[in-house]
Amino acid sequence: MATIVLYPSPGMGHLVAMVELAKFILHHHPSLSATILVAPPSFNTGSTMEFVRHISATVPSITFHHLPLVSLDLHAFPSMESVIFEVLHRSNPEVRRALETISRSATVSAFIIDYFCSEALPLATELHIPTYYFFTSGAYIVAFLLYFPFMHRITTESFKDMKNALLHIPGVPPIPSSDMIRPIMDRTAAAYDFFLKFSQNIPNSAGLLVNTFEALEHKPLETIRQGKCNPDGNTPPVFCVGPLLDTDKRHGGGEDCLKWLDKQPSESVVYICFGSLGTLSEAQLREVAVGLERSGQRFLWVVRSPPSEDTGKRFLRPPEPDLKALLPTGFLDRTKERGLVVKSWAPQVAVLNHTAVGGFVTHCGWNSILEAVSAGVPMVAWPMYAEQHYNRVVLVEDMKLALRMEEADDGFVAAEEVERRVVELMDGGLEVRKVVEEKSAEARAAMADGGSSVVALGKLVELWKFSA
């Protein structure tokens, strides 16, 4: 039997997107089977193990191969990215063993790796397995990563020291250096070196799969395919296979907020959530609360506990938030007729697709962006970490899908700004709303039979058959 092996990064957003990719492939090409390699996290990545158990029980054509746990001293790492890189680095020998074991009982048609898992590319090449990168970020990020080695050569400065210079990347709007991907702001950091090596490795892959659709990112896709993002070398073929969304209603605990939304007028509620890992300080939480209260708008707000001051605990799952202690005195009572605060989690896809929701304050994680676009919900962009500041520039300046939340130099957002942007989004924002509705229709078309993403997948599977 022909099988594909997929290797995601441990983060919840990366794992979910990779599982959705496997489901997409198997739905349209059921003669294939899929094995997903899982590196068990020793840190907070969201409810990944619960998710894996559910998929194991409900999608029998997907098998999970669990790699051994890597124990780490979390105090020794400066960032979540550095922790992930170390886990994946130490897991590489086990990945080789897994591929060898799977290859003895099936023909491995393709090995699909998350871009964080780049170290696995050479070993798969040694085993003569065609290897493809899967990008859980969009094509605008792919354009940068292809161009990154060239940028590295033409300057010796770190992005953090460029005094907000505009960076010109083919196919991408000018990116202020202060909005560059967070782990690579300092060229002396280990994460910078990892991303550089990964970027240099991209041309050695068999192809690039991107969780996007042609109509959403036409400009960077065209530029990438013309070879302009990698002026010195090969550009592998690019396949748009999205939007891949987790629409499974497996989670419990979301019924209350959906019932509350049922009672609200159409497009009247702004939804505020910062992904599976985004957290705000206690001072920032209070500022958001003041801004929401002053706005007079209906809201559904997902609140998590602030990040721990203990450097070792900052990578672990935070405790359940004490809303009365964290939010201004009387806030919950004063806003109970028009607002709902939920602890830690909400069924985001279901929320965004509810008729009552008319706006989304987001951290600009790519999965959240795709979910909002697919649901036709305009956004306010409030980035926090990873590539989210870069995504905000693209969302606001090029895609016209979001309004920009303005921050102080230290990243703090004042209550007045929260109030202003929420009111602008919900009472105005007509241009943004019109564009997102158009892209929503194009997203549905891309995933329908004969749509651009389904056609791209068909071409990809034909390559696998040829290589086998």
Q: What span, in angstroms and rounded, lies between the C-alpha atoms of 168 and 294?
A: 39
Q: Token pair for residue 37?
A: 């390699």
Distance CA 164, CA 161 (A): 8
pLDDT in tens, 101-116: 999 999 999 999 999 9
> What percent of the chain shows pLDDT beyond 70?
96
Question: What count of Cα atoms within 13 Å lies in the side-chain half-sphere of residue 302?
Answer: 23
Q: What is the residue type of 215?
A: A
pLDDT at 252 over 60: no
Confidence (pLDDT) at 288 = 98
Supply the pLDDT for residue 419.
98
pLDDT higher than threshold 60 for residue 81: yes
Q: In the chain, what percentage of residues exceed pLDDT 90?
A: 83
Secondary structure class of 129 (helix, strand, coil): coil
Does 190 have pLDDT greater than 80? yes
- The residues facing 113 across adjacent strands are 7, 133
Q: Which residues pair with 342 in a beta bridge?
A: 302
Output phi, psi for 332, to 5 deg: -65, -40
The full DSSP string for 277-312 is T----HHHHHHHHHHHHHHT-EEEEEE-PPPPSSTT
Among 172, 180, 176, 174, CA closest to 222: 172
Q: How far from chain centre, in Å, is Cα 196?
A: 20
Q: What is the pLDDT of residues 396-407, one digit of tens each?
A: 999 999 999 999
The residue-averaged pLDDT of 32-49 equals 80
Tens of pLDDT, residues 64-73: 999 999 888 8
406-424 tens-digit pLDDT = 999 899 999 999 999 999 9
CA distance 386 to 347: 23
pLDDT score, position 9? 93
pLDDT at 310 > cutoff 80: no
C-alpha 161/C-alpha 61 separation (Å) is: 49
**Torsion angle in degrees (nearest 10) through CA of 85, 89, 90, 95:** 120
Q: Whole-angstrom Cα distance, residue 356 to residue 336?
A: 17
Q: How confident is the model at residue 44 (pLDDT cuts 50, 70, 90)?
A: low
Average pLDDT, the chain: 93
